[in-house]
Amino acid sequence: MQIAQQVLFAVALGVTAWLMSKRVGIIKKTIQLGKSDDRTDRPNERLSTMIRVAFGQKKMFDRPIVGIMHFVVYAGFLLINLEVLEIVLDGLLGTHRLFAPILGGFYHTLINFFEFLAVGVLAVCVIFLIRRNVTNVERLQPTRHRELNGFPALDANVILVTEIVLMFAILSMNAADALLQERGAEHYPLVGGFFFSTFLQPLYSGLSDGTLIAIERGAWWFHILGIFAFALYVTYSKHLHIFLAFPNTYFANLTSKGEMQNMPEITKEVKIMLGLDQPDATEAPAEIGRFGAKDVTDLSWKNLMDAYSCTECGRCTSSCPANMTGKALSPRKIMMDTRDRLEDVGKIMLANGGEFKDDGKSLLGDYISEEEILACTTCNACVQECPVLISPLDIILQLRRYKIMDEAQAPSSWNAMFNNLETNQAPWKFSPSDRFNWADNLK
């Protein structure tokens, strides 16, 4: 029987690893479709940023109460997985509580600490469920934000319910285990009961040894298979940020948030026109394939990693002045639409041996509308608010550049402003010499 369990566990572990490797592989390939973008400068500053923002959850504490609750779930996720290591080794080796004789008395303290985290995670997830479905936090409501309709709303609730059930499984496993220890059941070494799971023991104390073993083993299998399923599901979920937040914050833009990156080809031509630079007679004219971005393949790999890293928290949208005034723009939707496009591209690649073949669709037009990108004021509020240092603005600017520079489809009011800038060095239609006439009558 024990051998059969070991084999079954090894198969489950192998299948999970294989499915995850396939999924991670396609995510990697879709990110690599993006254009090159060197983010290897200032490594010490990048490492410091990742430690503060990803490990330390610094930006989450801009809203302290939610930040503390999120940190409880985050810490629980990281530390409880140390117990998962023991469960995996027990499953492969056919042992039970492998680390107990190795750690001695510290083992009891460690499991008590894990139970404390499990109860904390369970309680916070219940609160998050209430916040999302009962108290109607504005930025989390599908009725007010169309990008949350369908799978995104379901996804958030599935993750929260799953974490609650998994934490309860840990406590049930430990409660049944402690009772079996007291009864001297075979294969259950005496390590003692644990603080929080003792409150569940009265529920099981009247059961037979066989029933207790079934509960303990059932909870053990449910917990570890649930962890495997959760790990695979996360790669399809917004909770992919659990893993991607670390590289995403490391490779974040370190320049000032108000600094916009010019197009090198255009900058060079302008400098030549102004006499600030000289053309290189030996250099062949640069071939500009496209101004700005029309599809995900025109964006940088970092833009695409941003899309996969989005937590869908809505802080960007709740702080967006365009969204506040009823405009179509939602920075969160920009990131979710980019990820949706990447998902569709990934399906095409899977169907064509890893090669992307044009499906006649594009990010701009089929996923993101012209109305959305033109509503952006480039204020950087969304960039400032993001807890994992995503820049929706960078994608918006590149899409807008394509619309205006490549398709020459700027609004008429914008064209008038462009003409004024070119002729008067100001957005207004009057001569630079008249710019301060308004001050003539001031005393």
- At 15 the pLDDT is 95
pLDDT in tens, 105-161: 899 899 999 999 999 999 999 999 999 888 878 888 888 898 999 999 899 999 999
d(CA 5, CA 91): 7
Taking 60 as the threshold, does the pLDDT of residue 291 lie above it? yes
For CA atoms 274, 278, 281, 283, the dihedral sign is: negative
How does residue 292 score in pLDDT terms, banded at 50, 70 and 90? confident
Judge whether 34 and 295 are in contact, CB under 8 Å.
no
Q: Which helix (H) or strand (E) holds 48?
A: helix 43-50
d(CA 104, CA 86): 15
User: 224 vs 13, 171, 230, 231, CA distance in Å?
Assistant: 10, 13, 10, 11
Give me the amino acid identity at 7: V
How does residue 267 score in pLDDT terms, banded at 50, 70 and 90? confident
- At 355 the pLDDT is 87
Burial class (CB in 10 A: 0-12, 13-18, 19+), 216: buried
Instruction: Give the Cβ contact number of residue 210 at 10 Å.
Output: 9
The whole-number average pLDDT for the span 235-246 is 92
Judge whether 119 and 164 are in contact, CB under 8 Å.
no
How does residue 50 score in pLDDT terms, banded at 50, 70 and 90? very high
Taking 80 as the threshold, does the pLDDT of residue 417 lie above it? yes
- At 443 the pLDDT is 62
Name the DSSP letter for residue 257. Answer: T
- At 409 the pLDDT is 85
What are the sequence ranges of the domains in the chain? 2-32+63-250, 272-433
Contacts of 328 (CB under 8 A, 6+ apart): 369, 371, 372, 375
- At 171 the pLDDT is 93
Taking 60 as the threshold, does the pLDDT of residue 286 lie above it? no
CATH architecture of 272-433: Orthogonal Bundle (1.10)
pLDDT in tens, 173-218: 999 999 999 888 888 888 888 899 999 999 998 899 999 999 999 9
- At 294 the pLDDT is 93
* Residue 142, SS3 per DSSP: coil
The residue among 62, 167, 57, 45 whose CA lies nearest residue 117 is 167
d(CA 304, CA 29): 11
Average pLDDT, the chain: 89
Taking 90 as the threshold, does the pLDDT of residue 269 lie above it? no
User: 276 vs 106, 260, 270, 272, 279, CA distance in Å?
Assistant: 70, 21, 8, 6, 10
The residue among 154, 146, 136, 151 whose CA lies nearest residue 334 is 146
User: Which residues in 340-377 are b (16+ Cβ under 10 Å) and which e?
Assistant: bbbebbbeebeeeeeebeeeeebbbeebbebebbbbbe
Q: Which helix (H) or strand (E) holds 168?
A: helix 151-182
The structure's pTM equals 0.87
The residue among 69, 63, 311, 104 whose CA lies nearest residue 190 is 104
d(CA 277, CA 269): 9
Query: pLDDT over 70 for what percent of the chain?
Result: 97
- At 283 the pLDDT is 65
How does residue 436 score in pLDDT terms, banded at 50, 70 and 90? confident
Taking 90 as the threshold, does the pLDDT of residue 317 lie above it? yes
The interaxial angle of helices 105-133 and 64-93, nearest 10 deg, is: 130
Stronger pLDDT, 255 or 214, i.e. the higher one: 214
Q: Identify which of 3-7, 52-56, 336-340, 401-405 has the greatest average pLDDT.
A: 336-340
pLDDT in tens, 423-435: 877 888 777 777 7
